[in-house]
Amino acid sequence: MLLQSTDSILRQPSFAKFWSSGILSSSSFQMLSVAIGWQMYDLTHDAFSLGLVGLAQFTPMVLLTLVVGHVADRFDRRRIVFLCQILEGVVAALLLLGNIAGWLGREQILLAAAILGACRAFEGPSYSALLPQLVPKAILQQAISWSTSAGQTAQIIGPSLGGLLFSLGVGFVYSTATIALLVAAILTFLIRMEQSIRRLEPVSLRSLFSGMVFVYRNKVILGTISLDLFAVLLGGATALLPIFAQDILHTGPWGLGLMRTAPAVGALLMSIIFAYFPLKKAFGPTLFGALAVFGITTMIFALSTNLFVSLFALFLVGASDVVSVVIRTTLVQLQTPDDMRGRVNAVNSLFIGTSNQLGEFESGMLAGFVGAVPAAFIGGLGTVAVAGLWMYLFPSLRRLRSLSESK
């Protein structure tokens, strides 16, 4: 029965196009991020300029959160995703042209990074809010698991392929990304779905902030989103991987590459397992259990001096993280009315992006004061502590057994 329902998801043309488009778009963004970061440093040999690339990509997501959510709820989400992918493809093509013509410099790269960041800010919430319109509610959790696997696949393929193509020449990265984004846009355009009737609110401060208000009033959603925010904020040990690779595990770039890949592989395998064997009960206990495993395996990684033990710990970090991702995403999608999904998903995206970025910053700052090993261990311990505290603060989330209870 499980295999049949999973097979029915994969056989739905609209979902297959949605899933493939997501892999191509996310992989292209990962490739472009690798290429423009490397090219910026190659041009300037300045660490500050390299940091500005990340800032240029991250800032639009924060500044545009309220706007992109409202846009996703007011207009055709499929068309928004399509236009964003087209614009990202145009940026990739201009980067290729600028590289060939020789006019690509520091300012042009920063502008490209900012436009790509803005496009991803609009594309992400619209793409996420689109999914419930493509599949029945009965198989939404499996669809989310497959969608999560697409994101993890992109995390593995994108940087690896970007690095490989860059070794042949940066033009190969830009041309490949241009083609992939064009194909992604075509697939998005070909998605067919039933258009839901949504209540259109005029643009106002109330409508712009309504996503945040909805999240605050819904204790289950507030609990899941804030739990992920603080857990990832404290457990961002991945920012310290270069230090562990060089100074603690005494391995080279190949070891660092394996360490960066291990969490994504764990997340990919777990998301596929969830796709075939969706969670039916004990949502709350499973969520908190996964966060506890995330924290404990982070502490094991911090104390490990063996590469294989470290890789296995990172594998479990990724696997446990995706459990909370699937549960959180499923709850958010099912508990949110369709005319609010864009704004709520925008808030969710802001929380995720903020926790990832600030988590890396927090880990780096703490490591600067106490060292990499204590910083990673404290982060893992903090994650376990947050999970325990949230069990007390959000009893309805702790007691959540099934999706029917969450509605």
Which spans in 277-306 are helix H?
283-303
Chain segment 222-246, per-residue pLDDT in tens? 888 888 888 877 777 776 777 888 7
Q: Which residues contact 361 (CB under 8 A, 6 or more apart)?
A: 239
Cα separation, 128 vs 266, whole angstroms = 22
Cα separation, 362 vs 369, whole angstroms = 11
How would you label 214-234 residue by residue, b for 16+ Cβ within 10 Å and e otherwise?
bbeebebbbbbbbbbbbbbbb
116 closest CA partner among 25, 245, 191: 25
Give this prediction's pTM.
Answer: 0.74
The pLDDT score that the predictor gives to residue 369 is 82
Q: Which residues contact 168 (CB under 8 A, 6 or more apart)?
A: none
The domain limits of the chain are 1-192, 203-407
Q: Are 171 and 177 in contact (CB under 8 A)?
A: no
Burial class of residue 318, CB neighbours in 10 A (0-12, 13-18, 19+) = buried
Q: Are 51 and 357 in contact (CB under 8 A)?
A: no
Q: Which residues contact 86 (CB under 8 A, 6 or more apart)?
A: 181, 182, 185
Which CATH number is 1-192's, of 3.40.50.2000, 3.40.50.2300, 3.40.50.880, 1.20.1250.20? 1.20.1250.20
Q: Are 201 and 330 in contact (CB under 8 A)?
A: no
Cα separation, 261 vs 35, whole angstroms = 18
134 closest CA partner among 75, 77, 74: 77
Burial class of residue 155, CB neighbours in 10 A (0-12, 13-18, 19+) = buried
The pLDDT score that the predictor gives to residue 219 is 81
Cα separation, 362 vs 401, whole angstroms = 34
The pLDDT score that the predictor gives to residue 268 is 82
Burial class of residue 371, CB neighbours in 10 A (0-12, 13-18, 19+) = middle
The pLDDT score that the predictor gives to residue 205 is 59
Which run of H or of E encompasses 346?
Answer: helix 341-370
Alpha carbon of residue 329 to chain centroid:
11
Q: Domain 203-407, what architecture?
A: Up-down Bundle (1.20)
How does DSSP classify residue 196? P
How many other CB atoms are found less than 10 A from the CB of residue 168? 9
Those residues of the chain that have pLDDT short of 50 are: 1-4, 197
Chain segment 273-313, per-residue pLDDT in tens? 877 777 777 788 888 999 999 999 999 999 999 999 999 99
The pLDDT score that the predictor gives to residue 240 is 79
